[in-house]
Chains A and B, each alone.
Chain A
Amino acid sequence: MTTLIHRPEYAGYDFGPAHPFTPSRIAMVLDLIRCLGHAAPTLAAPSATREEILSVHDEAYVAMVEALDRGETPPSAEAFGLGTPDNPIFPDMDPATRWLVGGTLHGARLLMAGTETRVLQLGGGLHHAQRDRAAGFCLYNDLAVAIRAFVDHGWRVAYLDIDLHHGDGVQKLFYDHEKVLTLSLHETGHYLYPGTGHIQELGSGPARGLSVNIPFEPFTESESYLEAFEDVVPRTLEQFSPQVLVVQAGADAHFADLMGDLALTTQAFERLYRRILELAGEHAQGRVLVTLGGGYDAQVTARIWTILYLTLMDLPIPDRLPAEWLERWQHLLGDDVGATLHDPEPAFPAFPGREERNRRNRDVVARLLDSLLRYWL
């Protein structure tokens, strides 16, 4: 069983109708779960306090978000990443984000109290937010606040990020922390935002070897992605031996997501979720805290995160999408949505250059492991 964290206030984290990071993504998941007959009670967590936000963010940055909420227009807002095309200013940003952070943090507390082993936060995953600035649709870093709480509790934390984009904010906040392992799988930063996440970023000081990045070639498909995952993630977790696994489960590495160029299918995501649960069982005493993240094609995120939910709840994955749901969300689903929860197989014709791409991915993994072994031996 899995505890589900959500509350209606999450919908307040909304950059506006033209912005891709829209709260309707979560509403569609909740409705799909309900239409499939698998609705479970959700737990409404308290908002994070200002002090809890300050456990990872600078006071000056938080004060800037608060000033913008009061309607002030400080000229230096953009220096904090606010009021940019990615992070436009919206009403009540501070409280809206604190609800999300509070949910992820509450999930962490349930795990620390020992009352739960699996928590799914239906929101959050704001992995780009940095100590002193907003970045890439992320205002406060809910993942980092939760990780900080685990660390203060004395736990070793493994962070696993399967979003399309590098989990740069979390990596940077714990880059020299010997109790935090960060593992990110993403499309290579040579092309894609945020431009980091290269295999040479290995952590510093006592945390050397505890920052692990697997950058993939554009157009990488499921098989090559899962192969790299198996080559790196299990042995890294075994080596580090964490007490909890924190997972940012962005869905934008799907082939239909236009934010980038990775090409996973829903079947690959299900496989990833099952492996993550197995690995949490083998290396983290079964404790896993999962958040959402990126994902910008409504019909894709709804299906993928429903599969995530069903997998975490140990429920069977039904074949078909309910007609009622398809009808209700028609205006957001577009023409590409099929009749099934999973992608059709094959989901798309093969991209040219697959062998070359897979070889390059394997070479990257080999170089990464060469570097990591120096710190593990």
Chain B
Amino acid sequence: MLVKEVMRKPVTVVQVGATLGEANELMLSRSFRHLPVVDQGRLVGVLTDRDIRYATSSLCPMPRSAGDPVALAMSRHPLTADPLDPMEDAARIMREHKIGCLPVLDGDELVGILTGMDLLDALMTLTGVTKPSSRLEVTLKDQPGELARLTAFLAGRHVNVHSILTYPTPDSTVRTVLRVDSQQIRPLAEDLREAGFTILWPLPTSRPNP
């Protein structure tokens, strides 16, 4: 998943000469929290709702007023992302620097913005249920061909796979969660067990004492 697939566009910006009052009005009316600041089309900073609140607070050593320009409250030289960066790289930068957004630059051109909320949307797309499907949870050995063996088995049953998530576990296996297009998940799990797979869900047909 690339930044360009996840980012928000077109991006709403303010000019460097705009006032804090105007920027605040814009963010309130559009209900967002991050505004790239541009000077003659070039990105020069990022202004957040928190920047405005602090800059205009009595706790600030030099409190600003609504009529002051945004340049007095924005962060300069913001970190940016490239539209072709993988989403996880952008997430890592945001996490490491504890920042809420990355303006996306294609060369010098501001083409979008990626926020923490967009990353949550991406997580929901990755893990969510978009078609009726059942959950199958399998522990695979961490070695070549294991996932292929599993998907080949499903292909042999003509079972369509809607999504696959895999992640490493502390005991060096690979936890694999599939969403498959079948309601008849239990017989499928039994057959997989017979073929030597370790199935975590659904549980075996012989349940706790029924």
User: Which A residues are within 8 Å of any B CB, using their own CB?
Assistant: 20, 78, 81, 84-86, 128, 130, 135-137, 165, 168, 189-196, 218-219, 255-256, 258-259, 261, 263, 348-352
Whether A191 lies near B210 (C-beta < 8 A) is: no
Please give the distance in Å from A281's CB to the nearest CB on chain B.
34
Q: How many B residues have CB within 8 A of the partner chain?
A: 24
- Docked Cα-Cα span, A305 to B182, in Å, equals 25
A195 touches B186 (CB 8 A): no
Asked if A137 and B135 make an inter-chain contact with CB atoms under 8 angstroms apart, the answer reads: no
Partner of A86, one of B179, B183, B186, B209: B183
Task: Tell me whether B98 is interfacial, beta carbon within 8 Å.
Answer: no
Instruction: Tell whether, in the assembled complex, residue B209 and residue A348 are in contact, meaning their CB atoms are under 8 Å apart.
Output: yes
Interface-lining segment among B7-15, B32-40, B153-161: B153-161
Quick one: given A255-B210, A263-B210, are A86 and B184 in contact (CB under 8 Å)? yes
* Residue from B157, B183, B203 whose CB has the most chain A CB atoms within 10 Å: B183
* A84:B133 contact, CB within 8 angstroms: no
Check B133–A85 contact: CB distance below 8 A.
no
Which among B158, B159, B160, B207 has the greatest number of chain A C-beta atoms within 10 A?
Answer: B207
Chain B residues lying within 8 Å of A261, measured Cβ to Cβ, are 202-203, 207
Give B residues with C-beta under 8 Å from A.
Answer: 129, 132-135, 157-160, 179, 181-186, 201-203, 205, 207-210
21 CB-based A-B contacts, threshold 8 Å: A84-B158, A84-B182, A85-B181, A86-B184, A128-B132, A191-B202, A192-B134, A192-B135, A193-B132, A193-B185, A194-B183, A195-B133, A195-B135, A196-B129, A219-B207, A256-B210, A258-B186, A261-B202, A261-B203, A349-B209, A350-B209
Contact: A193 with B134, CB < 8 Å?
Answer: yes
Once bound together, how far apart are the Cα atoms of A136 and B183, in whole Å?
6
Query: B183 to chain A: which residues have CB within 8 Å?
Result: 86, 136-137, 165, 193-194, 259
- By beta carbon, the residue of chain B nearest A296 is B184
Which residue on A lies nearest to B135, using beta carbons?
A: A191
Q: Does A194 contact B129, Cβ atoms closer than 8 Å?
A: yes
Q: Chain B residue with minimal CB distance to A218?
A: B203
Cross-chain contact B132 with A85 (CB below 8 angstroms): no
B159 CB contacts on chain A under 8 angstroms: 85
Q: Which residues of B contact A219 (CB under 8 A)?
A: 207-208
Q: How far is the CB of B184 from chain A (nearest CB, A)?
A: 6
Residue contact A351 to B158, C-beta cutoff 8 Å:
no
> Apart from A128-B132, A348-B209, A352-B209, what 16 extra A-B contacts exist at CB < 8 Å?
A78-B160, A81-B181, A84-B181, A85-B158, A86-B181, A130-B132, A135-B132, A191-B135, A192-B135, A193-B132, A193-B185, A194-B133, A195-B135, A261-B203, A348-B210, A351-B208
Q: Are A193 and B186 in contact (CB under 8 A)?
A: no
Please name all residues of chain B whose beta carbon is closer than 8 Å to the beta carbon of A136 when the two chains form the complex: 132, 183
User: B157, A194: Cβ atoms under 8 Å?
Assistant: no
Please tell me if the beta carbons of B182 and A86 are within 8 angstroms of each other in the complex.
yes
